[in-house]
Structure 1
Amino acid sequence: MSLLLPPANPATRPEQVTATLRDYRQALGPGRVLYLLDDSTSMEDNRVWSGPGRAKDLVARSTAPIGPEDSFGVWGLSPGSAANHTELVPFGRPEPGPARAAVGRAPAVNKNARVLDGLRDGLSELRSGPQGPVPRLLVLVTDDEDSADHQRADVLALEESATEGPPVRVVTVSLRGGGCAPDQLNQRLAEATGGRCLDVSDDLATELTAEVARTGTGDAR
């Protein structure tokens, strides 16, 4: 007796994958994305601040998957007048064109970036909104110069706080070689939160945009 096997499913088309991913994101509800941009003068000195494929361009381009119901913002990590950061794009639902223009105009600042403080504040900001399984993404873009002197105890404390409370994925973008070395801040945060560490060995523009697409609901404004 012969057995009749069901017909094989046709190969899944790319547009089906895209639609499935979009439906999945939308089922979770609007996403929340906060960028932490190292705006210290070393970014300019190291020639990773302005221009195609550099810090500000990477941030602006990667906002493309953020949809009209999603929330996002961009903070500079130099301290402001009353905070550990400067709001380049206040967190909320800004119009994308003006938001990208604001990032493009941002100057490098002659102050040290407050990386650990910015990460703590960013985690708090993302967790302060709707509770439940809301997609949350914290993106750090840096040349790592102001991370060199972090005390190990402070890094471990931040790693612990990153895994407490509502989940937040942390994606770190290091604009220097070796920025994702094991046991360093960038890699530890990425591994602890289910995020990623990207450095100059990666296609940064493509990979960062793909990570944001996992959080944004799409249908960009």
Structure 2
Amino acid sequence: MTTSRFFGELYLRSTRPFLSAETTAREVAYLRESLGDLEVPGAIVDLGCGHGRHAAPLNAEGPLAGRILGLELDALSLRERLPGFPAVRADLRALPFRTGSLAGAYSWYSTLFVFSDEEHVALLREVARCLRPGGRLVFHTVPHARISSQGEATFSTRLPDGSLLSEESHFDAVRGRDEGHRRLTLPDGRLLSGRYSIRYYPLAELTQLLEFTGFSVLWVHGGLEGGPLTDASMDLIVGAATRRS
């Protein structure tokens, strides 16, 4: 049996083995630090929470305890999510929250940029609509310089459960998109196969996009340590706030 949806069982089964406890702990620490001083009242939503590796520990203890709400479209990820936080099933492009009801939001691994450019504008406006004035958005992606330097890429490996994972990707420099095809052959013989197209914006364009959709950039980091973005950075993490009226 073959399925063609990328962000579903294929994504969950093929990425979870690579998300170590150490990596998750470092990312959770960054989110606690970057959102923990948020005095705006209301919930903080994990946009595309997946199986909840950030949401569960953030909601359990620390300055964000009891404030985290997960949002995920994939039903399987929600069924298999870690315990300890509430979640809703919904599309990022049509958030089921009242205007000005949220204190903050965060998203990891380019989750916000897997749609068309026009949808990215609408999506960010939706997030801005739901946040209170002075609310905060934190998101992670990959620097444009890093992804544009890789060109063609291929990958194949055997996962711990015996599944065979393979992928081919190509960065389209004109459109600013990394386009790929991933296949996962499960131990029971099922083949999960799907294509993706992820948009990577140069920082100047990303800043313009945020300002156009109602945000002001607070910081730009090149990694979890909080250092500046450089040509050698492996990550791009942005903090932005909704403008106060």
Task: Calculate the TM-score normalised by the size of structure 2.
Answer: 0.37
Higher strand share: 2
- Higher RCO (Cα < 8 Å, 6 or more apart): 1
Larger Rg: 1
